[in-house]
Amino acid sequence: MDNPIEGVDYFVHIVPFPVDAGCDGAVTPNPDGTYSVYLDARTTFERRRRAVRHEIDHIACDDFYNDRCIKDVEGF
């Protein structure tokens, strides 16, 4: 996948999530301005593909640096 966000670097890590994690992916900002995207190794390729797109959308929408509550960000 090409980098869909101009000027933003992110690193994808595929690791086993706890069984009861309740999600297929997560993203965290790093101190150097990059992001780490974590995908659950226990799930299917297709679910990981959707999860990485979802997490990249969080980066693109600047969700870490706005005042929106998590329920609004995730659409709960």
Q: Would you place residue 11 in the very low, low, confident or very high pLDDT band (cuts 50, 70, 90)?
A: very high
Instruction: Express each pLDDT in 32-65 by its tens digit.
Output: 999 999 999 999 999 999 999 999 999 988 888 8
Q: Are 70 and 62 in contact (CB under 8 A)?
A: no
Q: What is the pTM of this model?
A: 0.83
- DSSP-derived secondary structure for 20-42: T---SEEEEE-TTS-EEEEEETT
- In the chain, the largest separation of any two C-alpha atoms, in whole Å, equals 35
Mean predicted lDDT score pLDDT of the chain: 88
How far CA 76 is from CA of 8, 19, 22, 58, in Å, comes to 27, 21, 13, 15
